[in-house]
Amino acid sequence: DAGVTQSPTHLIKTRGQQVTLRCSPKSGHDTVSWYQQALGQGPQFIFQYYEEEERQRGNFPDRFSGHQFPNYSSELNVNALLLGDSALYLCASSLERNTDTQYFGPGTRLTVL
């Protein structure tokens, strides 16, 4: 049973560019959450998707957007990249009826130059 997978593992972009990160949830999970983790900090909630809709959003600008597909996989898009967007981006999946136990992927390390 595959756990949560994310791609790519690492990514280097320059300021102003756009990036798309991908996440496949754990088998059977229907809810996907995205987190940003800056160096030395805990993960910060970006948003959560369920039934292909954004259900809740953290304190992140509109440059951060997402999508969930019918197979429950998800994408995180970041436009107009800033140096401060450099971080580890984590995807977590769960069941809608039990979001207490979230299963995290290994993350995508984004570096903005």
Partner 1 sequence: DAKTTQPTSMDCAEGRAANLPCNHSTISGNEYVYWYRQIHSQGPQYIIHGLKNNETNEMASLIITEDRKSSTLILPHATLRDTAVYYCIVRPYRDTGNQFYFGTGTSLTVIP
When asked if residue 111 is in the footprint of partner 1 (CB under 8 A), the reply is no
Closer residue to partner 1 in complex, CB, 14/46: 46
Number of residues that bind partner 1 (CB under 8 A): 29
Q: From CA 7, how far away is CA 12, in angstroms rounded?
A: 13
Stretch touching partner 1 by CB under 8 A, among 14-22, 34-42, 64-72, 76-84: 34-42
Q: Which is nearer to partner 1, 43 or 66 (CB)?
A: 43
**Kind plus residue range of the DSSP H or E element containing 103:** strand 98-104
Answer yes or no: are the C-beta atoms of 105 and 42 closer than 8 Å: no
Asked if 102 contacts 43 with a C-beta cutoff of 8 angstroms, the reply is no
Contact positions vs partner 1 (CB under 8 A) = 4, 31, 33, 35, 40-45, 48, 50, 55-56, 58, 90, 92, 96-107
